[in-house]
């Protein structure tokens, strides 16, 4: 696929192309974030100070972003297509 055909795709379907590009970037960032989180070790699970659970900031961010990404593509996009575009 040439650069000209990619540019034509963006011109013809800008919203769909932006969603697809955003998905690729999100997946790449989740991959890099997962590697970085693995390098720091697993989350502690329970705080050493007062027994309160620690969320493990980077791990928590990866789970939240990943879950949001999955819900977006499996629930919101099909719902939008069904309600507003009339696709079944």
What pLDDT, on a 0 to 100 scale, did the predictor assign at position 44? 65
Query: How many helices (H) does the chain have, and how many strands (E)?
Result: 4, 0
Burial class (CB in 10 A: 0-12, 13-18, 19+), 61: middle
Query: Which pTM was predicted?
Result: 0.72
Position 27 scores a pLDDT of 94
Q: What angle do CA 7, 25, 21 make, to 5 degrees?
A: 30
Mean pLDDT for back-to-back runs of 10 residues, the chain (88 residues): 80 84 93 91 63 69 93 86 77
């Amino acid at each position: 696929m040439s650069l000209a055909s990619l540019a034509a795709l963006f011109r013809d379907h800008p919203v769909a192309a932006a969603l697809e590009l955003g998905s690729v970037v999100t997946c790449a960032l989740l991959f890099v974030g997962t590697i970085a989180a693995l390098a720091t070790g697993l989350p502690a699970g329970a705080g050493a100070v007062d027994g309160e659970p620690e969320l493990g900031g980077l791990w928590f961010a990866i789970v939240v972003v990943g879950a949001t990404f999955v819900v977006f593509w499996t629930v919101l996009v099909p719902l939008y297509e069904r309600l507003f575009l009339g696709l079944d």
